[in-house]
Amino acid sequence: MLSYQHGYHAGNRADVLKHSVLHAILEQRSRNPKPLLYIESHAARGQYDLTDRQATKTNEAKLGVLAFPGAQASPPALQPWLRHLKDKLPHNYPGSPRLAVDVLNQQSRFVFFEKHPTEFKALKANLGDDDRILIKKEDGYNGALRLQPRRGEDMIMLLDPSYETASDMEALADWTPRALRKWPKAKILIWLPLFADHREEELGAFLSELDTGFVAGSGWDRTPDDPSALTGSAMIGLRFGGADSRKAFAIAAQLDAYWAQ
Ligand X SMILES: C[S@@+](CC[C@H](N)C(=O)[O-])C[C@H]1O[C@@H](n2cnc3c(N)ncnc32)[C@H](O)[C@@H]1O
Chain residues binding ligand X by CB under 6 A are 2, 4, 6, 15, 18, 40-44, 95-96, 113-116, 119, 139-141, 160-162
The residue among 160 and 200 lying less far from ligand X, judged by its C-beta, is 160
Kindly report the length of the chain.
Answer: 261
DSSP letter (8 states) at residue 229:
S
Neighbours of 102 (CB within 10 A): 14
Shortest distance, position 35 Cβ to ligand X, whole Å = 23
Quote the CA–CA distance of 62 and 55 in Å, as a whole number. Answer: 9
SS3 81: helix
Shortest distance, position 67 Cβ to ligand X, whole Å = 18
Closest CA to 177 of 147, 140, 206, 144: 206
Quote the CA–CA distance of 68 and 74 in Å, as a whole number. Answer: 6
DSSP letter (8 states) at residue 100:
H
* Secondary-structure percent of the chain, ordered helix, strand, coil, rounded to 5: 45, 20, 35
The residue among 37 and 144 lying less far from ligand X, judged by its C-beta, is 144
Shortest distance, position 261 Cβ to ligand X, whole Å = 25
The residue among 156 and 212 lying less far from ligand X, judged by its C-beta, is 156
Quote the CA–CA distance of 188 and 211 in Å, as a whole number. Answer: 10
The residue among 33 and 182 lying less far from ligand X, judged by its C-beta, is 182
Compute the C-alpha angle 15/16/19, nearest 5°: 70
DSSP string, 87-136: TTTTTTEE-HHHHHHHHS-TTEEEEEE---HHHHHHHHHHH-S-TTEEEE
Neighbours of 71 (CB within 10 A): 16
Nearest residue relative to ligand X (C-beta): 95
The residue among 155 and 184 lying less far from ligand X, judged by its C-beta, is 155
CA 60 to chain centre: 17
Closest CA to 103 of 32, 173, 1, 208: 32
Shortest distance, position 62 Cβ to ligand X, whole Å = 18
Shortest distance, position 140 Cβ to ligand X, whole Å = 4
